[in-house]
Each structure stands twice: as structure tokens, then as C-alpha cells.
Amino acid sequence: MRITDADKSSYKNVWIIAETAGGEIRPVTYELIGAARGLADARGSIVAAVVIGAEPDASLFAYGADQAVVVNGSEFVGFNDELEAAALNHLIEKYKPEIVLCAATARGRALIPRVAVQTVSGLTADCTGLAIDPQTGDLLQTRPAFGGNIMATIRTSNHRPQMATVRPNVMKALAPDPSRTGGIVRERLPDGAAPNAKRVIETVRGGETGVNLADAKTIVSGGRAMKGPEGFEMLKRLADKLGGVVGASRAAVDAGWIAYPHQVGQTGQTVQTSLYIACGISGQIQHLVGMQSCGCVVAIDKNPDTPMMKLADIAVTGDLFEIVPALTRALG
Ligand SMILES: Cc1cc2nc3c(=O)[nH]c(=O)nc-3n(C[C@H](O)[C@H](O)[C@H](O)COP(=O)(O)OP(=O)(O)OC[C@H]3O[C@@H](n4cnc5c(N)ncnc54)[C@H](O)[C@@H]3O)c2cc1C
């Protein structure tokens, strides 16, 4: 369904969908607010954080939201994408946001495509850049395409709201300002809004992968040069000394040396650690897009001319099987 310019003008404000787990607001929410803040300022509109099935807290305002729109109640047990999508559809119909941003997490990826279909809005997944066309109000949604070889900028000029997902650790959260406050709007899921929605009877946690790359401060990552799982045990000893976790390139994951949740990059996780130590990773674009925003990058490689060695703040040329144990020993 195409939208006319007159209809477009009835859509206002930038919404983010707060990511919650066990009732707690997850850090990616603040990154979404940071991205939304710039867009709302460019449009002269406000940032609203939509909280479904949980309660808002002051941190939403401290990080830059002007308003929290809350739908909560006894029907929201665990994560139920069908119920949450029904709630969000109701809110969108009522308040007509111009832009809706959601985290590209397992939860966001289950929720937001349902909403995009039901509101006939379209959706751009995994954006790495967001800007506004000042003439039209179109959201310029930039994301890697064709295996990361080009960056595509996508508009949904004929539809509102404009919807995009953003991976964790891609956008920057603003510095929190505890003196900021905002308004809270409470809504209910209308009766009969999702008559056939599934019911969550019980939430059973899966086996732990033992790695949380998204929240790590330090990652020691290994590539094809590790030669096998034993190489990753060597990296784990260094990571433990640094209070960090182990990451990997896709080449190492595909070889079966380490599990997929450790993979960094375009088809793995995007990370933004203070320290990233790349051991025998050449730095192909698909890996770099997942870690290039890390604070300090140390690369260890026999070849001084790889893209990773060029990107690194500290590039150490040599055999990682000598350097990594020496570094681990030096740390005591
Ligand atoms: C659609 C698509 C998606 C992809 N997604 C991802 C992704 O999410 N993540 C990802 O990582 N890749 C991804 N890839 C793969 C990517 O293109 C590269 O193939 C991969 O990153 C290469 O891994 P590597 O750097 O470990 O291996 P290589 O490129 O083989 O690099 C190995 C490095 O180790 C060095 N070396 C060897 N021995 C030693 C030693 N003893 N000491 C020190 N250095 C040594 C070599 O000099 C070399 O620089 C994707 C590819 C495609 C097409």
C-alpha cells in the first residue's frame, strides 16, 4: 500500500523498541536511543522508547529518550513474539511513528518482521548507518550488501513507518545524563488483539555457550593460523589472564575448531571491545565489519601486510605460537 505525501506528514517521532531480558533493559537499547536521538533532532521530533512486557526505568531518559511508551500486563509471560507484535501494531496504528528502530537480536529478529508485514512498512535489516534526507524525511538506511563488498543505502519512500534493525555494538550510546527526565505513556493490549497467539507455558534455558562476546571488554581472537582446537586453548589461557573471552574468524569456525557463537564478523557477532587481539586473522572485510569499532586492536601475524595488520593500533610481526605463550607468561 503506497502512502501519499499528505499521509506521510501524519507520521511523527522516532521510536526504539527497548530490548529487555528478565525485566532488565539491555545495553543495546541505549545504542538504539543514541541513533534515534540524532534522527529525531534532525526531524525536530522526539525519541520514544517502547517497552513491552516489562517496566521502563530512568536509564531510558538518561540515555536520551524523551518518552517511554509501555504495554505491560499479566498476559506477557516470557518472550511471546505474537503478543508483542500485536501490541506494537496497536501502538503504531494509534500513534503513527515516522521511524521504528529495533535491535537485530534473536528477540528483535523474531518480533519486528511480523510488525513490518502487518503494517505493510518494509524493513531494512542489520543497518550500520542511519541518516535522514532533510527534503523528504526518508530514512537513509545503510547496510553491507553482496557479501560486504558494497554498502547499499535503502529508502522506503512510499511507506510509513520506516523500520530498521541495528545489530548490538554498531551504534554508539550517548553519555548518560541522570538529570534528564521524560514522560511515561501507558497502554494496554486491546482485548482480542491476538486471539490465536501462542501462550508461553514455560521458558527453559538452553545450554550455555560459555561465551558472551557482545558484553566482553577484551577478546582474544584466532583465525585459520590456529591450526586446530589446541590453538584456541592457548588463546583461552591468554584471554583468562586478561579477563577476556575467545573469538574466532569464520575460517576457524568452519574448520570445526571452535563453536559458532565465538565467530566475529558479518555472519557472526559485531563486537565493540576495549581491546581486540587478532591472532593469525588476515582481516578480510567480512571479519573487519564485525570488530573495526573496537577501542585498541592488536594484531599478531607472520605477514606484516595483511588488512588486519594495517588496521591494528599495535601490529606484531612474527609466529603467534611463540608470541602468544610469551605474552601469557609475561602477564604472570
Ligand atoms: C558471505 C560471507 C560472509 C562471511 N562472514 C565472515 C564472518 O562473519 N567472519 C569472518 O571471520 N569471516 C567471514 N567470511 C570469510 C572471510 O572472507 C575470510 O575467508 C575469513 O575471515 C578468513 O579467515 P582468517 O583470517 O582466519 O584466515 P586467512 O585469511 O587464511 O588468514 C590467516 C592469517 O594467519 C597468518 N598466519 C598463518 N600462520 C601464522 C603463524 N604461525 N603466526 C602468525 N600468523 C600466521 C597468515 O599470514 C594470514 O594472515 C565470510 C565470507 C563470506 C563470503
CATH number, domain of 55, equals 3.40.50.620
Point out the domain boundary residue: 139, 172, 187.
Answer: 187
CA–centroid distance, 54 to ligand 1, in Å, is 41
CA–centroid distance, 272 to ligand 1, in Å, is 19
For 270-320, the DSSP string reads ----SEEEEES----HHHHTTTTT-SEEEEEES-TTSHHHHH-SEEEES-H
Alpha carbon 306 to its chain centroid, in Å, reads 28
pLDDT value, residue 210: 67
Helix, strand, coil % (nearest 5) of the chain?
Answer: 30, 25, 45
pLDDT means per 10 residues in the chain (332 residues)? Answer: 78 97 91 97 97 96 98 90 95 97 93 94 92 94 83 93 92 96 95 83 68 90 98 97 97 96 93 95 94 94 98 98 97 89
Pick the atom of ligand 1 nearest to 251's CA.
Answer: 23
- pTM of the entire structure? 0.75
Say if CB 297 and CB 320 are below 8 A apart. no
Which cell goes with 142? Answer: 545503510
CA–centroid distance, 92 to ligand 1, in Å, is 43
Domain shared by 225 and 289, yes or no = yes
Q: How far apart are CA 20 and CA 116, in angstroms?
A: 20
Residue 43 lies in a domain: yes
pLDDT value, residue 194: 80
Could you give the C-alpha distances from 231 to 251, 297, 332, in angstroms and in order?
A: 14, 20, 20
Domain shared by 136 and 227, yes or no = no
Which cell goes with 92? Answer: 503504531
CA–centroid distance, 281 to ligand 1, in Å, is 5
Question: What range does the domain containing 307 cover?
Answer: 218-330
Could you give the C-alpha distances from 258 to 154, 208, 224, 229, 254, in angstroms and in order?
A: 35, 15, 11, 6, 8
Contacts of range 74-80, beta carbons closer than 8 Å, 24 or more positions apart: 75/189, 76/52, 77/199, 77/200, 78/200, 78/202, 78/203, 79/53, 79/107, 79/110, 79/200, 79/203, 80/53, 80/197, 80/198, 80/199, 80/200
In total, the chain counts a number of residues equal to 332
Pick the atom of ligand 1 nearest to 249's CA.
Answer: 11
Point out the domain boundary residue: 187, 204, 236.
Answer: 187
Ligand 1: lining residues by beta carbon, under 6 Å: 147, 223-225, 249-252, 263, 265-268, 280-282, 284, 286-287, 290, 300-303, 306, 319-321
Pick the atom of ligand 1 nearest to 281's CA.
Answer: 25
Protein residue with its CA nearest to atom 49 in ligand 1: 282
Point out the domain boundary residue: 187, 202, 230.
Answer: 187
